[in-house]
Structure 1
């Protein structure tokens, strides 16, 4: 029995290594425009749909490192009231999962919390400058001991994880009764020019992010709130925000150039100068661990 288990462990390690290598090759082929999804699917014994389902999301998630600077300059911060709502009053040690360049990390440390920032991209991690423990990791594999944090916050990143694997991992690192909070900044489409901006951006993606997920056990039912606020940024920062979207990063250079030209034309039509006020809705979901 022990020999069989050891053989299974070795085989699992080999499969993981091979899968990581395969993902790397797929990423290189797509990044260099050297193969279509049809060709990749055929090489892997899959359909085109199967190949895109298997790798498209992970490649988009991995693309952020190449634009870490634009991401940090263009992405908005979050309202301080969001921090007050998502982190329980008695929490002391908080995990910022998918920390990116540290937008939410900065607010957590400013609130006097001890913060562990976990982010898979080395380029993104290098932009985090606040006093926090900074670790490489993902929602499916968090490099922390069991029951080691009072709360977890995942801002603008939960849609990149596999919930089937991430939910048990969150429960593992949380202390009993701890809280997992998910946060998204969403542009407020009630503003006509923002709706027009999103029409331009949606020409290049059909993805709709679920900002009201249900996790299930071992977490209780969700509590939700929305916070409306306005983010002031420069025209250059708004274009950085557009360039930092995953679906824009992976566009061919000519399509990306055309998209940015369309956004610039929209800003010109609106008569925006150097400063732009962009309305946001911050959507927060809070889940309490049942055990």
Structure 2
């Protein structure tokens, strides 16, 4: 198993996968998470399947089974790995087979897969240990595909949302310079690609992007907002104030808005050796 040099080990202390309390906080309300979190473009799923040698898919950090179900819908056989037993239980009720473990510690028991995928989850995995485990379980020619939904509201809505966070959380770096964009995910993608390169056993990683839109009503967006990672860690008063401010911002633009999503994908093919 590759190890990080000391200077990278120090830097990795600030990486998301070190913050297990946040990583395993989403299971506090799996029903809301499954109900409100956006799915991924069908074209992205189809492209991953077409570029993989077979139908056996391992879903890392499968959560409530959102990604696994999308791959099952196009004929794949899926297995999920999920560290939160509450999320795993929910996924099983929707017909997804799940084993409870962090991916780094998961025992694959000699099983092999045609694709290893992770939706909105790989930043909670050590990028080097995770890539090494993926290399162990992928068949030659198998595909590792790591993806996130980057979201960007319209400019006026983006600034109104960011202003709420600056007012309620003036000491937090969250959204001090506006809402995130696909470019804001560049660090996550670079970290994932760097881990793949360090491990070896993969062709050079590629990055794909697929854009899509999703309209939201005020109530729909406020229903999703508490499932975002940093919201789960706030003291009770702050989420209420944020929800009230975001709700007022959406009311000010007519009660609805259209979110532009970009599915950003880091992907690499397992070599034969």
- Into which bin does the TM-score normalised by the smaller protein fall? 0.7 to 0.9
Going from structure 1 to structure 2, the CA distance change for 1:51 and 1:170 (only over 3 Å counts) comes to closer
The residue aligned with 2:231 is 248
Going from structure 1 to structure 2, the CA distance change for 1:123 and 1:54 (only over 3 Å counts) comes to closer
Aligned 1:104-143 pairs, distance under 5 A: 104-128=67-91, 129-143=93-107
The residue aligned with 2:247 is 264
| TM-score using structure 2 length | 0.78
Q: Distance in 1 between matches of 2:117 and 2:13?
A: 31
Going from structure 1 to structure 2, the CA distance change for 1:102 and 1:154 (only over 3 Å counts) comes to same
Residue from 253, 256, 266 that aligns with 1:285: 266
* Aligned residues between the structures: 241
Q: Distance in 1 between matches of 2:141 and 2:16?
A: 34
Residue ranges of structure 2 left out of the alignment (5+ in a row): 1-11, 176-183
On the 8 A contact 1:117/1:133 being kept in 2, the answer is yes
The residue aligned with 1:99 is 62
The residue aligned with 1:60 is 22
Which deviates more from structure 2 when the two are superposed, residues 62-71 or residues 194-203?
194-203
Which secondary structure state, in structure 1, belongs to the residue aligned with residue 116 of structure 2?
strand
CA deviation map 1:180-234 (0-9, x unaligned): 0011001135654245435545755549653423121122211221111112444
| TM-score using structure 1 length | 0.74
Q: Distance in 1 between matches of 2:114 and 2:18?
A: 33
The residue aligned with 2:6 is none
The residue aligned with 1:219 is 202
Cα distance, 1:282 vs. partner?
Answer: 0.7
Which secondary structure state, in structure 1, belongs to the residue aligned with residue 25 of structure 2?
helix
On the 8 A contact 1:114/1:132 being kept in 2, the answer is no
Which secondary structure state, in structure 2, belongs to the residue aligned with residue 178 of structure 1?
strand
CA deviation map 1:54-73 (0-9, x unaligned): 99711110111112222112
On the 8 A contact 2:62/2:118 being kept in 1, the answer is yes
RMSD: 2.7
On the 8 A contact 2:52/2:142 being kept in 1, the answer is no
Residue from 142, 149, 161 that aligns with 1:185: 149
Going from structure 1 to structure 2, the CA distance change for 1:223 and 1:52 (only over 3 Å counts) comes to closer
Q: Distance in 2 between matches of 1:163 and 1:56?
A: 11
Which secondary structure state, in structure 2, belongs to the residue aligned with residue 94 of structure 1?
strand
